[in-house]
Copies of this chain bind each other. A is one copy, B any other.
Amino acid sequence: MSGQEIEQLIRLLGRLPGFGPRSARRVALYLLREPQSRLAPLARAMERAGEAIRTCSSCGNLDTVDPCHICADPLRDHALVCVVETVGDLWALERAGVHRGVYQVLGGTLSPLAGTGPEDLNIAPLFARLEAGQVREVILALGATVEGATTLHWLMDRLAPYTAPQGTVTVSRVAQGVPMGGALDVLDDGTLAAALGARRPA
């Protein structure tokens, strides 16, 4: 419709998560209306981020340094390891500022349907540190999905040798229930069942 360079930009934008053809065109037009002040800086930022990006060899976080700034932080509790599925989950917990330990990013979940097996998960560094006696508690912060639950149970099996009575490591999992600000009448049955089943004295 308007030059292959423009078409190619719209096509690639349309592949981004949450994008359709309409939003891809809107963003392309927004950028192309001001090439110098909008398009060029974003293209430069992408290139720089692409050159700077590192995957932390310890936890799997995406950062510009390896080990990442969390693993390198001496003020954090390195004996408290929170296992998450994705870097996005790690970022969400960091934004909330609710975890003072370190992380292990699996990079996915067990999913026989998708063909993801234990060998595809970034879990070896955690077991190396468990073997070295460097871990006090493992928090499993996995999603409340079928894949998350499958992965959780597989991990609990693998962690069993390190917990009482053989070992001293504590394994915990994040609570499920009514989210903050959530009205009960819009929640699904599974969440309601979990919230009621895990009820506590008021």
Chain A residues within CB distance 8 Å of chain B: 1-6, 8-9, 12-13, 15-18, 23, 25-33, 35, 38-43, 45-53, 61-65, 68-69, 86-88, 91, 94-95
Copies of this chain: 2
Given A17-B27, A18-B27, decide whether A12 and B45 contact each other with a Cβ distance below 8 A: yes
Q: Which of B23, B39, B49, B61 contacts A8 (CB 8 A)?
A: B49
Query: In whole angstroms, how far apart are the Cα atoms of A40 and B41 in the complex?
Result: 14
Contacting residues, chain B, for A28 (C-beta < 8 A): 49
Contacting residues, chain B, for A3 (C-beta < 8 A): 52-53, 63-65, 69
A42 touches B35 (CB 8 A): no
Chain A residues touching B, majority SS: helix
A2 touches B39 (CB 8 A): no
Contacting residues, chain B, for A2 (C-beta < 8 A): 61-64, 68-69, 91
Contacting residues, chain B, for A33 (C-beta < 8 A): 62, 87
Query: In whole angstroms, how far apart are the Cα atoms of A48 and B9 in the complex?
Result: 9
Query: In whole angstroms, how far apart are the Cα atoms of A41 and B50 in the complex?
Result: 11
